[in-house]
A and B are shown apart, each in its own frame.
Chain A
Amino acid sequence: MSASRRTLALAAALTLSLWCAASRAEGAARPPAPSGSPAPSGSPAPNGPPAPNGSPAPNRPPELVPPRLVAGGDVAYPEGASGDGTVTLTLVVNRDGTVRSAAVTHGDEPFASAAVRAARDFRFEPATRGREAVAATIHFEVRFVAPAPNGSATAPSGSATTPNGSATAPNGSATAPNTAPTTGEPLEVVVQGERPPPAVTSLSRAEVRQLPGAFGDPFRAIDALPGVTPIVSGLPYFYVRGAPPGNVGYFLDGVRVPYLFHIALGPSIVNPALVDRVDLYSGGYPARFGRFAGGIVSGETTAPRNDFHGEGTLRLFDAGGVVESGFAGGRGTVLLGGRYSYTAAVLSLIAKDTKLDYRDYQARISYDLTPHDRVTAFGFGSYDLLGQVESGALHVVFGTEFYRLDLRYDHTFSPDSRLRVAVTLGFDQTHVDIQRNTQDKMLGVRSELTHRLGPHAVLHAGADGVLDAYAVGPAKYVDPEDPTVNALNALFPPRDDYAFGAYADVVLDAAPGFEITPGVRTDLYLSNGATKPAVDPRLSTRLRLTRTVKLVNAFGLAHQPPAFAVPVPGFVPGTLANGLQTSFQTSSGAEFTLPAGVTATATLFHNAFFNMNDTLGSGLDITSDTRALGEAYGLELYAHRDLTDKLGGFLSYTLSRTTRSVGNEKFVSAFDRTHVLNLALAYDLGKHWRAGTRFTWYSGLPRQPDIPNGLIQPPRSGHVEREPGFYRLDLRLEKRWNIKQRGWISFVLEMLNATFHKETIGDTEIGPVTIPSIGVEAGF
């Protein structure tokens, strides 16, 4: 498009309104719409009451600063248009300054589409609260001025500069959207702090990059969060508030995935560059999450961007990257990503008969049919293989793979009302020794609706159905009377499982500073001739006591079909006839906003488990379906300052007790750890050097009775003798070089367990499990 047909958009950000900054901003603030699923609206109603002009909003955090546009203000005058046009957009600006979503609030075509396409390339200096970047919803006006009749280059209006005025602290003026000055002053800004729902802890990828021992993987940082009890150092499987690994659900953009890590110890199965945020719901989670009784780990991918950009890593054992670009004039985006390990090649130099291989891929295409309608296809998959070449033939010791294709249609009714309808196809396969295959072919449909019911209520509702067709390949070369083989056959029969569910919750701003979210989800499970219904009520509240203290409570009932000890693709027990697992989750705590950008939480929790199959914690054969009662209670403390600050870090501590009851026995869970402590620090050394360290310490596991397994044992008791505790120190050092405006390259040296400390499991010292990583990361 010629320069003559260009004009400049005027973008402006106004001030916080009284209502926004005080009760609205507090009450409505929730995670902005993630790319993966319609987020709770959370944004203040556009027609909400403005603050008195010029008067500061009471209770407004004084340090709140709205986003400021720093790049991308030029918007092409659309082809075929005539005359001037004005479009008002609602933009959700991420904490990194990128635009997560753009929706038209007001404006006609073709100006509206042009504005939306352009807005996705805008770059902001993010909103900040105190010193911490927060996501924000901005009402943003783009004005198009028709080119001069003679077609010559027409200078944009005098206001065609980046509206720096928005960088100033909000002055509290409540300028109506349509009365914006033409000078580039802020038009309207509605800023919301990012506040997660109760009982969730979130990690952004930008932060996790700075966390030693996580190797840049957001999912690997989960075990540093409060409520999470590691099984073994370095193994990325964990108990969450007493719930075993098999009771923790993993989701990516709302799509269930069977596991998160390659070869159990390896990197996560999604390229970190694609993960915008990971949320850990330890209990009392929102009604949209169901079918897992222990906890939810939910990853959200980055929003589509139509500028050409990419990121890659090159490490000792693998390499990966992501690139994304727009097409069709910015209406569409395409993303390709993946990771490939060359462990096979490396191993061939050391042990030529061993084959260890892993890889993953991601592909996403999105296209905006209209400014309000988007279709997206998101495919991703993962592959792991451990084999041995014997006499020239391949012996597959363990192999697993899964693939997902998620086809989505998103419609935006208004900035506060969105609908997603999606169809998911999935294929899981695991190959274990003795030539046994298990497969799961999955078909799922879901709808997710977010709708603002009024100035004080936002509805989230949805429904979904999933078919899992499990097939079990015959184990041809095994003893047919082997009890283990028979137990596995009984536990994993070929069958078709169905699950149907519906949910709804309403986020109510019941009073200034008081938010209550009642919800319920219902599910119907059918498997192997058994049918089980479930009703899961949920309730969470958040009450602001002072400007810096809030009380948060969460309660919820959660049901789950039988689960295997650890998540393995295709290994889902077909023992629904023995009942659903049930947990009743409660937590109560306080959130504190402290000086210097520090936030802190203190939470008491209690989880009660019924009919659960935790074979690990109960000391049972993992092929059994013996059910247990369980209980977990404790205290979680968490203090946090953004790791991307010059000096950032966090302290995470969990004091807890987990018990199990089987038959007449009541005993401490085999994976109970009384104390779990994580302390992380990251510091900007200057000249683009950054260093970090993380200290992890936890209590030893309960000593198991000195009686060989298989013998008749006396009842276990609550008395516990523990094995020695464990600590480790992780280190990270990064040197970064910026290349031109957008490019960067980093050299990263990282080591998990740099102290080479050994861990004691079952009276045996193992390790030291020390994982070094040397790599180069780059992006543009």
Chain B
Amino acid sequence: MRAALVGCVALVPFGLAGCLPADTRPPPAEVTVTVSSSDLTLNDISSTLTADGFAIEIDRFLVDLGEAQLGDDVDGTCDDYSDPGYTRAFDFKQVTTPQELGIAFATGHCGFGFTIRSPNADTLAGRGLAAGDLDFMRTPGNDPIANNQGISVYVEGRAERGDELERFAWPFRRHIVYAGCDAGTTGDDTDLTLVSGEKTSIDVELRAEGLFQAGPGGPLHFEPFADADTDGDGQITLDELFQVPLATALSSGFFTPMSMPNRTADDGCYDQDGNALVETNLGTYTYCELLPQIAGLQGGDACNDTRSGRPPSN
């Protein structure tokens, strides 16, 4: 040891050696994270699939997501080498084949998570994104629970029932962190066992239908949204959703509260200042209960630990 130190000191001035130790960890597993669209996102929702007879067509479904992370290990064996610290924005209406979201490296027993957020300067434009879409999403805006925030999810479409036609175009300005995602193989939150040197993949599925679904696997509804068009102009705005008392929406009988009545910040829904968001209307209900349902692991359930609130720091 002493000889090595002396030798090091003697040699380094000549550029022959350095004293820093090498990273002695073994090669990690390589995990490719992909994204894909659900069938209902790509092919629309026919009237036979909704409980209220509405047919729902999705025209645009812009989502910026990424910052995939391997971590959250519960047994202390997950060694996270590197994660893709960036996001990609897609129009999932155009994502007909799985697209790469990023590559992460780790070994051990690891959990998996990712983030839906507004784009930043590093965001890559993915499949289906039109010119100007990134700027559109990066432009700060407001809604009743967001101040000066970019757009993380934008969904545009229409719903028809008979001669009833309602259009909607909702820019959601919410930052959602998905953690502890269930990959669906064991039901365990941390069921990714990554072996040094192996290659594997995880697919994140984007589901526009999650906005109309009363819980994972639950029935699809549009009636409460249609009822929100109180001015009858055929356009359902996000502001109108915030005008509908939650009790009214619930009394229509379509939605089953998933974790009502009293959520706390620890349950994952709070405003950008970190305060618990009280769900008093259809707008907050949509933000807190429905929006997180748009993403989950392919073949697994929705990530059961979603957190949202403060805007991203970068």
Bound: A394/B22 CA distance, A = 8
> Are the CB atoms of B102 and A391 closer together than 8 Å?
no
- Which chain B residue shows the least CB distance to A443? B15
> Are the CB atoms of A710 and B312 closer together than 8 Å?
yes
Is there a chain B Cβ closer than 8 Å to A479's Cβ? yes
- Contacting B118 at CB < 8 Å: which of A383, A425, A441, A708? A708
List 5 A–B pairs whose Cβ atoms lie within 8 Å, in order of A's numbering.
Answer: A405-B14, A429-B18, A476-B27, A481-B103, A711-B118
Is there a chain B Cβ closer than 8 Å to A621's Cβ? yes
> Are the CB atoms of A482 and B86 closer together than 8 Å?
yes
Q: A361-B9, A427-B12 are in contact. Are A399 and B21 (CB under 8 A)?
A: yes
* 8 residue pairs, one from A and one from B, having the closest CB atoms: A710-B120, A405-B13, A441-B15, A483-B122, A479-B84, A477-B105, A708-B311, A479-B103
- Which chain B residue shows the least CB distance to A480? B103
- Which chain B residue shows the least CB distance to A469? B15
Which one of B135-143, B221-229, B240-248, B274-282 is at the A interface? B135-143
> Are the CB atoms of B103 and A711 closer together than 8 Å?
no
Please name all residues of chain A whose beta carbon is closer than 8 Å to the beta carbon of B108 when the two chains form the complex.
391
Is there a chain B Cβ closer than 8 Å to A5's Cβ? no
> Are the CB atoms of A435 and B23 closer together than 8 Å?
yes
- Which chain B residue shows the least CB distance to A709? B314
Is there a chain B Cβ closer than 8 Å to A348's Cβ? no
Is there a chain B Cβ closer than 8 Å to A369's Cβ? no
Please name all residues of chain B whose beta carbon is closer than 8 Å to the beta carbon of A481 when the two chains form the complex.
84, 100, 102-103, 124
Please name all residues of chain B whose beta carbon is closer than 8 Å to the beta carbon of A390 when the two chains form the complex.
25, 79
| Cβ distance A514 to chain B, nearest Cβ, rounded Å | 45
Is there a chain B Cβ closer than 8 Å to A176's Cβ? no
> Are the CB atoms of B77 and A478 closer together than 8 Å?
no
Q: A391-B77, A482-B102 are in contact. Are A707 and B140 (CB under 8 A)?
A: yes
Is there a chain B Cβ closer than 8 Å to A1's Cβ? no
Contact with A along B5-42 (1 / 0, CB 8 A): 00001001111001111111111101000000000000
Is there a chain B Cβ closer than 8 Å to A431's Cβ? yes
Is there a chain B Cβ closer than 8 Å to A396's Cβ? yes
Interface residues of B in 34-80 (CB under 8 A from A): 77, 79
Please name all residues of chain B whose beta carbon is closer than 8 Å to the beta carbon of A477 when the two chains form the complex.
27-28, 30, 81-82, 105
Please name all residues of chain B whose beta carbon is closer than 8 Å to the beta carbon of A495 when the two chains form the complex.
none
A385-B20, A394-B24, A479-B82 given. 20 additional CB < 8 A pairs? A381-B12, A390-B25, A391-B25, A393-B26, A394-B21, A400-B20, A404-B13, A427-B12, A427-B15, A429-B20, A441-B15, A477-B27, A477-B82, A478-B105, A480-B103, A483-B122, A707-B140, A708-B149, A709-B312, A711-B149
Q: A399-B21, A484-B85, A621-B121 are in contact. Are A711 and B138 (CB under 8 A)?
A: yes
Please name all residues of chain A whose beta carbon is closer than 8 Å to the beta carbon of B148 when the two chains form the complex.
706-708, 711
Is there a chain B Cβ closer than 8 Å to A537's Cβ? no
| Cβ distance B71 to chain A, nearest Cβ, rounded Å | 13
* Total A residues in contact with B, Cβ cutoff 8 Å: 46
- Which chain B residue shows the least CB distance to A338? B9
Q: A381-B13, A621-B121 are in contact. Are A434 and B82 (CB under 8 A)?
A: yes
Bound: A711/B146 CA distance, A = 14
| Cβ distance A259 to chain B, nearest Cβ, rounded Å | 15
By a beta-carbon cutoff of 8 Å, the part of chain B in contact with chain A is 9, 12-15, 18-28, 30, 77, 79, 81-82, 84-86, 100, 102-105, 107-108, 118-124, 135, 138-140, 148-150, 311-314
> Are the CB atoms of B20 and A431 closer together than 8 Å?
yes
> Are the CB atoms of A401 and B102 closer together than 8 Å?
no
> Are the CB atoms of B82 and A710 closer together than 8 Å?
no
Bound: A615/B156 CA distance, A = 38
- Which chain A residue shows the least CB distance to B20? A399
Is there a chain B Cβ closer than 8 Å to A395's Cβ? yes
Is there a chain B Cβ closer than 8 Å to A712's Cβ? yes
Please name all residues of chain B whose beta carbon is closer than 8 Å to the beta carbon of A711 when the two chains form the complex.
118, 120, 138-140, 148-150
- Which chain A residue shows the least CB distance to B14? A425
- Which chain A residue shows the least CB distance to B15? A441
- Which chain B residue shows the least CB distance to A400? B20
> Are the CB atoms of B150 and A391 closer together than 8 Å?
no
> Are the CB atoms of B20 and A484 closer together than 8 Å?
no
> Are the CB atoms of A381 and B9 closer together than 8 Å?
yes
Bound: A556/B77 CA distance, A = 58
- Contacting A439 at CB < 8 Å: which of B9, B18, B102, B118? B18
Please name all residues of chain A whose beta carbon is closer than 8 Å to the beta carbon of B104 when the two chains form the complex.
479
Please name all residues of chain A whose beta carbon is closer than 8 Å to the beta carbon of B23 when the two chains form the complex.
393-396, 431, 435
Is there a chain B Cβ closer than 8 Å to A219's Cβ? no
| Cβ distance A115 to chain B, nearest Cβ, rounded Å | 35
> Are the CB atoms of B20 and A478 closer together than 8 Å?
no
Bound: A482/B66 CA distance, A = 11
Is there a chain B Cβ closer than 8 Å to A379's Cβ? yes
| Cβ distance A239 to chain B, nearest Cβ, rounded Å | 23
Contact with B along A393-414 (1 / 0, CB 8 A): 1111001110111000000000
- Which chain A residue shows the least CB distance to B103? A479
> Are the CB atoms of B138 and A483 closer together than 8 Å?
no
- Contacting B20 at CB < 8 Å: which of A383, A441, A709, A713? A383
- Which chain A residue shows the least CB distance to B10? A379
Is there a chain B Cβ closer than 8 Å to A562's Cβ? no
Contact with B along A416-444 (1 / 0, CB 8 A): 00000000011101010111000101000
| Cβ distance A377 to chain B, nearest Cβ, rounded Å | 10
Q: A395-B25, A710-B118 are in contact. Are A401 and B19 (CB under 8 A)?
A: yes
> Are the CB atoms of A383 and B19 closer together than 8 Å?
yes
> Are the CB atoms of B122 and A484 closer together than 8 Å?
yes
Q: A393-B25, A426-B13, A707-B140 are in contact. Are A482 and B18 (CB under 8 A)?
A: no
- Which chain B residue shows the least CB distance to A620? B121
Q: A395-B79, A484-B86 are in contact. Are A385 and B21 (CB under 8 A)?
A: yes
- Which chain A residue shows the least CB distance to B118? A711
| Cβ distance B62 to chain A, nearest Cβ, rounded Å | 15
Bound: A400/B19 CA distance, A = 9
Bound: A478/B135 CA distance, A = 27
* Residue of A393, A395, A477 contacting most chain B CB atoms (<10 Å): A477
Bound: A401/B139 CA distance, A = 43
Bound: A708/B150 CA distance, A = 8
Bound: A742/B50 CA distance, A = 95
Bound: A401/B8 CA distance, A = 12
Please name all residues of chain B whose beta carbon is closer than 8 Å to the beta carbon of A710 when the two chains form the complex.
118-123, 138, 150, 312, 314
- Contacting A709 at CB < 8 Å: which of B19, B84, B120? B120
Contact with B along A161-195 (1 / 0, CB 8 A): 00000000000000000000000000000000000
Please name all residues of chain A whose beta carbon is closer than 8 Å to the beta carbon of B19 when the two chains form the complex.
383, 401
Please name all residues of chain B whose beta carbon is closer than 8 Å to the beta carbon of A706 when the two chains form the complex.
148
- Contacting A425 at CB < 8 Å: which of B15, B77, B139? B15
Bound: A479/B103 CA distance, A = 5
Bound: A394/B77 CA distance, A = 14
- Which chain A residue shows the least CB distance to B272? A708
Bound: A480/B102 CA distance, A = 9
Bound: A765/B12 CA distance, A = 42
Bound: A476/B108 CA distance, A = 19
Bound: A53/B284 CA distance, A = 97
| Cβ distance B66 to chain A, nearest Cβ, rounded Å | 10
Please name all residues of chain B whose beta carbon is closer than 8 Å to the beta carbon of A476 when the two chains form the complex.
27
Bound: A97/B152 CA distance, A = 70
Please name all residues of chain A whose beta carbon is closer than 8 Å to the beta carbon of B86 when the two chains form the complex.
482-484
| Cβ distance A181 to chain B, nearest Cβ, rounded Å | 52
| Cβ distance A365 to chain B, nearest Cβ, rounded Å | 13
- Which chain B residue shows the least CB distance to A363? B9
- Which chain B residue shows the least CB distance to A388? B79
| Cβ distance A716 to chain B, nearest Cβ, rounded Å | 14
Bound: A616/B26 CA distance, A = 36
Bound: A707/B138 CA distance, A = 11
Bound: A483/B89 CA distance, A = 14
Please name all residues of chain A whose beta carbon is closer than 8 Å to the beta carbon of B25 when the two chains form the complex.
390-391, 393-395
Bound: A712/B133 CA distance, A = 13
